[in-house]
Amino acid sequence: MYIFKKENDIVKTEDQKMVKNLKNSGLIKKTDNVLDYGCGLGTWDNDAANNGIFFNKLFMYDKNPEAREYCKKKYPNHTIVHDITGELDVNLIFSNSVIQYIDTNELEKLFEQFAKMLKKDEIVILSGNPRYPRILECVLTFFGNFNLFKIQIKQFLKSDYRNTNFYRHSIDELRSMTKNLFSLTQIQNLEPNKNRDTIYLKRI
């Protein structure tokens, strides 16, 4: 899977805006133990005063070992895990800009795994979910956020990114996949990128 080789200031700024909105929403509380699934190079700022890690504990997982090694250095006071099949002391799962890289069959299995990890009324927050196919999203970003558009173009020029599968999972599809496990709410005002939205899943 494609990852940035180093942190990008524009992406970091967008992430900070999203985290600030998330903090202000009250969806994540100070007492929560959070698993960041597909953490990449890290969404969170270490400085809680800067809308960073404002909750109790942070566990981080990414399929890519390079990302895990990077986060070990970036987040020395938090836990990097190599898989999510064991017992983790979490009551909330967060995932930012991940599910578009997972096909339907694997995503169904992932939701089943999330459901095993959580108790009734505990939640999953899926942020940064594309509302449009990749090319159309890029065109719309040109008009809405030119700096972000330039990053997308740079990504398209890299073969490892172009060869990465990209799936747009509709709300109806996600609702069908999770209907026996979670209730689903679509939230649109948390994302600074208006071409993306947030999905809130509550364990039933």
The count of other CB atoms within 10 Å of the CB of residue 79 is 16
pLDDT at 3 over 70: no
As a whole number, the mean pLDDT across the chain is 88
Full set of structural domains in the chain with CATH: 9-203 (3.40.50.150)
Gap between the Cα atoms of 137 and 110, Å rounded: 25
- Taking only the tens place, the pLDDT of each residue in 29-45 is 999 999 999 999 998 88
- Taking only the tens place, the pLDDT of each residue in 81-133 is 999 977 899 999 999 999 999 999 999 999 999 999 999 999 999 999 999 98
Which residue, among 115, 181, 147, has the nearest Cα to 17 in the 3D structure? 147
